[in-house]
Structure 1
Amino acid sequence: MTIELFRADSYLKECAATITATQEGAIILDQSVFYPTGGGQPGDSGTFELEDGTVITIANTVKDRETGTHLHLVEEGTPLPPVGTKLKAIINWERRYQLMRMHTALHIMCSKVDAAVSGGSIGLEKSRLDFDLPEAPDKEALAAAINEEIAANKPVEIAAISDEELEANPDLIRTMSVKPPTGQGSVRTIRVGDVDYQPCGGTHVKSTGEIGPIRIGKVEKKGKLNRRINIHFS
């Protein structure tokens, strides 16, 4: 299994790695800073720099649904290096950092809407959460509440709780459809100051001040009890 360096430090931009396997259109490494698509967050893109100077473009990163293997997807037609090749894996940092800011902003929004989350998606320019909510919230009031927490520059901390602790505190899980993976002994958590605390495997900024001001976009009705709230950077 690929060692997930980004879980402990979202600010790692590159790492040394060795190719442990390949399959059609994909490279598998012993360790990686590339986040694989999951939890509503897109996978990382970037480059692999081989010792002979060859540069391979990584278009996306995903997890194999059956094995959990990290697949670094190359551009179509790219020759795959042999197993054992050593390289430097470098993420597209500007893109990743924008996704980190967005993801953390959604955690704050989640704390300001008193309803379960029924879906979500993180993007570079726009992100959204779907809430099990009968009525739309006041957009201006919600944006003001989120921006107040951003301006307060509160710390964002990575930690973990045991499977047993999570089972004893089911209210920590805000999402209705996606449950955090268990069975490994512990579950990764994200704490946003005194604002939000929940299981999450995504990448985040170190403090809310890094997010920058946001605005609330469309609030869409997606069902009798489903309101989609879109968020943008100001």
Structure 2
Amino acid sequence: MNLNPTKLEYYDHMWKLQSKATLLSCFKGDDGRRALILDSTIFYPQGGGQPSDTGFITISDLGFRFIVQHVKSRDGTVFHYGVFENCSEGVEVELEMGKELLLFVDDSRRKLNSRLHSAGHLLDICMKNVGLGNLEPGKGYHFPDGPYVEYKGTVAQSELQTKQKELEVEANALISKGGEVTVAVYSYEEASKLCGGCLPDYIPKGSTPRIVNLGGNPGCPCGGTHVSDISEIISMKVSQIRTKKGHTKVFYTVGS
């Protein structure tokens, strides 16, 4: 299937939860669910340690709702997987290509995922503020079942408990203070300056990275969704720090 890249509306408008799009393709996946491909989407596809959005898509003149259960991106094309609501088993829904659809993202799931993702970035700032800036941020896992950020480098066993408490105090102090969260695309040189003078090796030189900036602190490249203000994280609990074989994992949760 040769398709053009899907326009990512959430990329520029993270807090937009409704939009219109044009249907390009509809087919049945290997697991029996339908997959819709649109010219644009506000649904975040799973990636970068962040789960996908869910929600629904309406086709008004047919009287159907398509329940979006999972979203993923492959080679720039976004696939919306799900089922048609109130559709009898064995009944095939025929959709006309080029038809305008209405997209609705689940608000509560988007907010929770954005809070967890933003809290992961906040940890990077806190690590530097409590004297652990020598640890290089690695992958993050921002799912509700056990979010963490992994860093290259280790912490002395004798310091783990102290640093865990310091990280939690620092994180909640920053959350209480608040600060606007901004996201924009910059030239490689501008992005490097915003991120403290350098970018990770996986960012190609000459590219135009998307940078998230939390409350005026040094930014970082990220393609996910985030809160509009640090205070929306509400609170943060640093539940555990594990350090082993050159890597440190900081586990956390956010308040409700």
Q: TM over 0.5, yes or no?
A: yes
What is the RMSD of the two structures over their aligned residues, measured on CA atoms?
2.4
- Structure 1 counterpart of 2:199: 173
8 Å CA contact 2:192–2:198 kept in 1: the answer is no
Q: Which amino acid is the alignment partner of residue 32 of structure 1?
A: T
8 Å CA contact 1:107–1:196 kept in 2: the answer is no
Q: Which amino acid is the alignment partner of residue 225 of structure 1?
A: G
Query: TM-score under structure 1 normalisation?
Result: 0.87
Residue 13 (structure 1) aligned with residue 17 (structure 2):
yes
1:217 to 223, 227, 239: 239
Distance 1:171 1:230, change over 3 A: farther
8 Å CA contact 1:108–1:195 kept in 2: the answer is no
Distance 1:82 1:180, change over 3 A: farther
8 Å CA contact 2:117–2:226 kept in 1: the answer is yes
1:55 to 18, 43, 65: 65
- Structure 2 counterpart of 1:83: 97
8 Å CA contact 2:6–2:76 kept in 1: the answer is no
Distance 1:110 1:203, change over 3 A: same
Query: TM-score under structure 2 normalisation?
Result: 0.80
Inter-partner Cα distance in structure 2 for 1:171 and 1:83: 47
8 Å CA contact 1:172–1:197 kept in 2: the answer is no
Aligned length: 227
The alpha carbon displacement at 1:149 in A equals: 0.7
Which range is displaced more, 75-84 or 203-212?
75-84
Q: Which amino acid is the alignment partner of residue 214 of structure 1?
A: M
Q: Which amino acid is the alignment partner of residue 45 of structure 2?
A: P
Which range is displaced more, 124-133 or 97-106?
124-133
SS of residue in 2 equivalent to 1:101? helix
1:24 to 14, 22, 28: 28
- Structure 1 counterpart of 2:218: 196
Query: What are the ranges of 5 or more consecutive residues in structure 2 without an aligned counterpart?
Result: 30-34, 128-132
8 Å CA contact 1:108–1:196 kept in 2: the answer is no
Q: Which amino acid is the alignment partner of residue 72 of structure 1?
A: H
Inter-partner Cα distance in structure 2 for 1:40 and 1:181: 20
Which range is displaced more, 121-130 or 146-155?
121-130
Residue 34 (structure 1) aligned with residue 48 (structure 2):
no
Look at both structures and tell me which one has the larger radius of gyration over its CA atoms: 2
Inter-partner Cα distance in structure 1 for 2:223 and 2:26: 25
Inter-partner Cα distance in structure 2 for 1:102 and 1:206: 13
2:118 to 104, 118, 131: 104
Q: Which amino acid is the alignment partner of residue 233 of structure 1?
A: V
- Structure 1 counterpart of 2:32: none
- Structure 1 counterpart of 2:168: 143
Inter-partner Cα distance in structure 1 for 2:25 and 2:172: 45
